Amino acid sequence: MTDKKELLGVFDDVEEAIKAAEKAQKELVTKYTLEDRDRFIENIRKFAMEKMEYLAELELEETGYGRIEDKIAKNSGAVMFSQGTEAIPKNIYATDKGLTVEYYAPYGVIGAITPVTNPAATVVGNGIAAMAAGNSVIFNAHPNGKRTSAYTVSLINEAIIDAGGPENLLVMPRNPDMETLDVIMKSPVVKLLIGTGGPGMVHTLMRSGKKVVAAGAGNPPSIIDDTADLKKAAEGIYASASFDNNLLCIAEKEIFVLDSIFDEFVEELQKVGAYKLNEEESKKVTDLVVLSDEEGNKYINKKYIGKCTNVILKDIGIEIDSDPRIAFFETTMEHPLVFLEQMMPIIPLIRCESFEQAVEWAVQAEQGNKHSASIWSKDIDRVTVFGRAIDTTIFVQNGGTMSAFGVGGSGTNSPTIATPTGEGVTGPQTFTRRRRFCMAGGGNYLL
Ligand code: NAD
């Protein structure tokens, strides 16, 4: 199905891809209106929703990560709840001195780097937002998700062309690697780079000399305090930390629970279906999923990223018929999974003597990523204290971190949360540069 001939916007040569994207962008802004862009986006949503199941199957088959039903929900969110042209701001300054209008104009061709954990959603989300703002995009997809990304690029182009739009608004090299990335970073045609992934990628983009929107790694902590509705907190953590097997950068990765309600919270977690690892089991799981290099530095065993709990447990000799969405264990701040971004549904719970201790430890675990965090508490003063201390881009009270993206809370969807560079949840406005037109000398003042 992802046969060479059928893939629109996928090029053998990266330079050819950039040229095609440049031509497409010029056509977009000279021959088409904003209403046309809206029509293209509507058609993208229609085409993508029709292929949603296939897209999820392809993503799981290619990457080996996550769960089909969650991929369908995740990718549908990126398709249906991403922002279009309505999100492009404009500012108007009108006084008796004159009239000035500030437009949010496109950059031109944007270079986008996508993660293996989201090979479809990042193409859809970045693609719709960049195109809504009048740009074209060249994607350098993660090599281990390139077939899914290529299929998505092609599907979006097909939808745009079907709606009467130009070819190649989204392009990518067929075999993306560090060399194609280098060409994209050095191309004078590419005016903005947007990267979604880990710290190595962010570091590389930052050295390009171009403007960078960087969406980096996270390690989101959650605090459960003694005023929380523990049943709701257990349900919320179970749903959110387990989503797509904990692959998402926003997913809760370690939970700080106040001592006075720790045992009750554990019971509630078990009631909703989570598997409690005893001391011996948690040691075995840790040895399986955390590896050490020669210098003793710990890192995650990639074999278990995005795998289901029962698959991981099977490899330590625990056979279970059911499918618990997470397994959890009690531990201390010394445990490596408190600090490593595990991206698998094995969740450490840390018992805290006081709220102050929970805040201190959660801040340490987040490690200044400024990414995401949550708190389950009815005490607004505490929520404020934690929100100030943790200083993350996404901060949620009484909900899974996905709530800030419209799942159990309100918000728009985006697969790219620009954390180190500070743009936050990206959208069409992220892909714009501000231009001013001024009618001077009191021109056009009508009062
Ligand atoms: P990754 O860093 O391994 O790869 C991301 C992309 O960067 C890929 O296209 C990869 O080919 C490229 N890359 C990797 N190392 C590079 C380097 N040294 N120089 C240049 N490019 C490089 O990450 P991943 O495993 O694909 O994705 C998971 C990571 O992405 C997690 O850390 C997760 O938190 C993060 N993420 C962040 C967001 C966000 O919005 N902030 C969203 C999704 C994922």
Residue nearest to atom 10 of ligand 1 (CA): 142
Decide whether any atom of ligand 1 lies within 6 Å of the 25 Cβ.
Answer: no
Within 10 angstroms of residue 210's Cβ, the number of other Cβ atoms is 17
Statement: residue 29 has pLDDT above 80 = yes
CA dihedral 331, 380, 251, 317 (to 10 degrees): 30
Q: Using 50, 70 and 90 to split pLDDT, how confident is the model at 443?
A: confident
Q: What confidence score (pLDDT) does residue 231 get? A: 98
Statement: residue 1 has pLDDT above 60: no
For the chain, the first-to-last Cα distance in angstroms comes to 63
The model's pTM is 0.96
Question: Once rounded to an integer, what is the mean pLDDT over residues 169-179?
Answer: 98
Q: Cα(247) to centroid of ligand 1, in Å?
A: 12
Compute φ and ψ for 355, nearest 5 degrees: -60, -40
Choose the CATH number for 221-410 among 3.40.50.970, 3.30.930.10, 3.40.309.10, 3.40.50.880. 3.40.309.10
- The Å distance, Cα 148 to ligand 1 centre, comes to 16
427 CA distance to ligand 1 centroid (A)? 19
> Considering the chain, what percentage of its residues have pLDDT values greater than 70?
99
Span 329-356, pLDDT tens digits: 999 999 999 999 999 999 999 999 999 9
Could you give the C-alpha distances from 136 to 28, 35, 37, 208, 356, in angstroms and in order? 8, 17, 12, 20, 48
Give the tens place of pLDDT for each residue, 194-204: 999 999 999 99
Check: CB of residue 123 under 8 Å from CB of residue 154: no
Yes or no: say if 125 and 416 are a contact pair by the CB < 8 Å rule: yes
Asked if pLDDT for residue 108 goes beyond 80, the answer is yes
99 phi-psi bin (left φ>0, alpha ψ -120 to 50, beta other): beta
Q: Looking at the domain covering 4-216+422-439, what would its CATH class be?
A: alpha beta
Q: Is the CB of 249 under 6 A from ligand 1?
A: yes
Rounded to the nearest integer, the mean pLDDT of the chain is 96
Q: How many whole angstroms from 110 Cα to the centroid of ligand 1?
A: 17
> Is the shortest distance between the CB of 420 and ligand 1 below 6 Å?
no
* Per-residue pLDDT, 2: 46
Taking residues 284-288, report their average pLDDT.
Answer: 98
Task: Say if ligand 1 is within 6 A of residue 180 CB.
Answer: no
Q: Among 14, 62, 75, 117, which residue has the most ligand 1 atoms within 8 Å of its CB, making it the best to mutate?
A: 117
> Which residue shows structure tokens 């531990």?
331
Q: For 308-338, b where at least 16 C-beta lie within 10 A, e where not — what string?
A: bbbebbeebebeeeeebbbbbbbbebebbbb
pLDDT of residue 408: 87
For range 401-407, the mean pLDDT: 93
Pick the residue whose CA is nearest to atom 13 on ligand 1. 201
Ligand 1 and 185: CB distance under 6 A: no
* pLDDT above 70 for 3: no
Three state DSSP letters for the chain: CCCHHHCCCEECCHHHHHHHHHHHHHHHHHHCCHHHHHHHHHHHHHHHHHCHHHHHHHHHHHHCCCCHHHHHHHHHHHHHCCCCHHHCCEEEEEECCEEEEEEEEECCEEEEECCCCCCCHHHHHHHHHHHHCCCEEEEECCHHHHHHHHHHHHHHHHHHHHCCCCCCCEEEECCCCHHHHHHHHHCCCEEEEEEECCHHHHHHHHCCCCEEEEECCCCCEEEECCCCCHHHHHHHHHHHHCHHHHCCCCCCCEEEEEHHHHHHHHHHHHHCCCEECCHHHHHHHHHHHEEECCCCCEEECHHHCCCCHHHHHHCCCCCCCCCCCCEEEEECCCCHHHHCCCCCCEEEEEEECCHHHHHHHHHHHHCCCCCEEEEECCCHHHHHHHHHHHCCCEEEECCCHHHHHCCCCCCCCCCCEECCCCCEECCHHHHEEEEEEEECCCCCCCC
CB 401 near ligand 1, within 6 Å: no
The finding on whether 200 has its CB within 6 A of some atom of ligand 1 is: yes
The strand pairing partners of 372, in sequence order, are 394
Distance (angstroms) between ligand 1 centre and the Cα of 117 equals 8
As to burial, measured by CB atoms within 10 angstroms (0-12 exposed, 13-18 middle, 19+ buried), residue 48 is: buried
- According to the model, what pLDDT value does residue 211 have? 97
Q: What is the pLDDT of residue 5?
A: 55
pLDDT in tens, 417-436: 999 999 999 999 999 999 99
pLDDT at position 442 is 83
Q: How far apart are CA 347 and CA 326, in angstroms?
A: 7
pLDDT in tens, 210-250: 999 999 999 999 999 999 999 999 999 999 999 999 999 99
The pLDDT value recorded for residue 446 is 73
Whether the per-residue pLDDT at 136 is higher than 70: the answer is yes
Per domain, the residue ranges of the chain are 4-216+422-439, 221-410
Instruction: List C-alpha distances in Å: 296 to 182, 287, 328, 348, 365.
Output: 32, 13, 25, 21, 19
pLDDT at 445 over 80: no
Which atom of ligand 1 is nearest the CA belonging to 204?
19
Give the C-alpha separation, 432 to 213, whole Å: 12
pLDDT of residue 273: 97
Residue 157 is predicted with a pLDDT of 98
Which range (233-247, 369-383, 430-444) has the least confidence?
430-444
113 pocket-lining for ligand 1 (C-beta < 6 Å): yes
